[in-house]
Amino acid sequence: MSQDLGKLISIHGTSPAYLQRAAIVSILSFVFFIAMLLAFYLRQQILYFILSSAFLVVYLFTMIGWLMQKRNTVKIYNNGMRYRKFVARWDEIESINETGSGVTIIKVGGDDISLGPAVHGLGEIVRLARSKARL
């Protein structure tokens, strides 16, 4: 079975640039949320409360997305790779197709994964997978 993948070689998580963008959006949305609450307190106009609520929603969605994105890791082992529920030994990989924005790895039997530019070290993953799978 493909569960015995051997020793862990590397782990590739979300690219730091994507995490940094999410951090900046969350910080700015929280600052604007507080500013609009302060404006609502001072001016007592409902528009400021609606704006503060909108910034709170942006903040919450950004934080949820950030936490979900941090769980997306590609793990490379001696005998295969794992990404979410996709597990493949090197001899089970049929092809590796580079698209304009990422990579699609197809396993024998039709299972496939698409890795986008948000994955850190995508070029290294492709290089390792091609060399190990002998493609």
Tens digit of each residue's pLDDT (9 = 90 or more) over 73-107: 999 999 999 998 899 999 999 999 988 889 999 99
- Residue carrying the six token digits 């910034």: 55
Tens digit of each residue's pLDDT (9 = 90 or more) over 17-68: 989 999 999 999 999 999 999 999 999 999 999 999 999 999 999 999 988 8
Architecture of the structural domain at 73-133: Beta Barrel (2.40)
105's torsion region: left (phi>0), alpha (psi -120 to 50) or beta?
Answer: beta
- Which residues of the chain form beta strands (DSSP E)? 8-12, 74-77, 80-83, 86-89, 93-98, 103-107, 112-115
Question: What residues does each domain of the chain span?
Answer: 14-70, 73-133
